[in-house]
């Protein structure tokens, strides 16, 4: 038996999310079906992090096991063939030791949230970013974002359906930058609560509009109450961009 690690990219709009569900196509389900077509084996694919419906990924990492003898190159090429026409691509594949686990071996995860900040509606990026027509102050958003760094009880930024055992998380990076019409929000942590990034972005948008300031964000965090923070940003602006692993598992390409 061999364990394979994949670096996966997908456009999340047509999917009900990463996790296999009965109410529509999922990224996990499409990958498992492609693996069956390639190998004849029914497997379970495990991801570094689940993404919601409409959320994209450029650096999702997954693993699965095969009984048959396959090279990593054949796995990558065969899966990309069988995944057509789904908007999923295997960017890299490698064989790893059986003690690697896409989720539990991870030391950190990275997300990007894209806001297109202009008066004109979106055409090309309509399902790839959040369109905000009112001018946002990205510098004020970045200043307020720093309030959230460190270890905190993030209940105010946690979805009601979150299944994490504890709301305590350590947020390592939350940077807000503007490049012309685009505002990019980068978040990095060992792990995140359900909707945590989207809830933080929705709150920072209020700061960008001048409705909130950094102190109001601090108060929302301290309240430990979801109703005290801002709204949940839409899924189409969120991208799962990468996973950090210990050096034995980091690999040259993944």
CA angle 98, 103, 108 (to 5 degrees): 120
- Pick from 105, 122, 139: which residue ends a domain? 105
Number of domains in the chain: 2
Region for residue 54 given its phi and psi (left: phi exceeds 0; alpha: psi -120 to 50; beta: otherwise): left
Same domain, 211 and 140: yes
Residues in the chain: 254
- Pick from 105, 130, 153: which residue ends a domain? 105
Supply the pLDDT for residue 248.
63
pLDDT 10s digits, 173-214: 999 999 999 999 999 999 999 999 999 999 999 999 999 999
Instruction: Check: CB of residue 205 under 8 Å from CB of residue 115.
Output: yes
Could you tell me the residue range of the domain that residue 221 belongs to?
A: 108-241
Supply the pLDDT for residue 252.
43
Same domain, 224 and 113: yes
Same domain, 80 and 192: no
* Distance (Å) of CA 149 to CA 20, 68, 144, 218: 33, 46, 10, 11
Residue 251 falls inside a structural domain? no
Sequential DSSP letters for 191-254? ---TTHHHHHHHHHHHHHTTS--HHHHHHHHHHT-GGGS-PPPPGGGEEEEEEE--HHHH-S--
pLDDT beneath 70: ranges in the chain: 248-254
Spatial separation of the C-alpha atoms in residues 222 and 199, rounded to whole Å: 15
Point out the residues that are catalytic.
52
Q: How many CA atoms lie within 13 A of 38 on its CB side?
A: 26
Supply the pLDDT for residue 163.
87
Supply the pLDDT for residue 1.
87
Same domain, 82 and 128: no
- Alpha helices per DSSP H over the chain: 27-39, 72-82, 138-145, 196-208, 214-223, 247-250
Q: What is the pTM of this model?
A: 0.95
């Amino acid at each position: 038996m061999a364990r394979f690690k994949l670096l996966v990219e997908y456009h999340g709009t047509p999917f009900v999310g990463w996790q296999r569900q009965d109410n529509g196509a999922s990224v996990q389900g499409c990958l498992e079906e492609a693996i069956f077509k390639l190998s004849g084996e029914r497997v379970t694919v495990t991801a570094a992090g689940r993404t919601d419906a409409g959320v994209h990924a450029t650096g999702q990492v997954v693993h699965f096991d095969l009984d048959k003898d396959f090279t990593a190159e054949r796995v990558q090429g065969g899966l990309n063939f069988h995944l057509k026409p789904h908007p999923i691509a295997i960017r890299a594949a490698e064989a790893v030791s059986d003690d690697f686990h896409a989720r539990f071996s991870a030391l950190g995860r990275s997300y990007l949230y894209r806001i297109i900040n202009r008066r004109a509606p979106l055409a090309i990026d309509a399902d790839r970013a959040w369109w905000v027509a009112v001018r946002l102050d990205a510098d004020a958003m970045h200043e307020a974002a720093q309030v959230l760094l460190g270890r905190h009880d993030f209940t105010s930024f946690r979805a009601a359906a979150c299944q994490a055992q504890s709301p305590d998380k350590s947020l390592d990076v939350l940077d807000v930058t503007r490049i012309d019409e685009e505002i990019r929000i980068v978040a990095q942590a060992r792990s995140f609560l359900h909707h945590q990034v989207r809830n933080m972005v929705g709150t920072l948008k209020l700061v960008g509009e001048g409705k909130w300031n950094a102190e109001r964000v601090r108060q929302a965090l301290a309240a430990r109450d979801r109703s005290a923070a801002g709204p949940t940003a839409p899924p189409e602006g969120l991208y799962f961009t990468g996973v950090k692993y210990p050096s034995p598992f980091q690999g040259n390409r993944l």
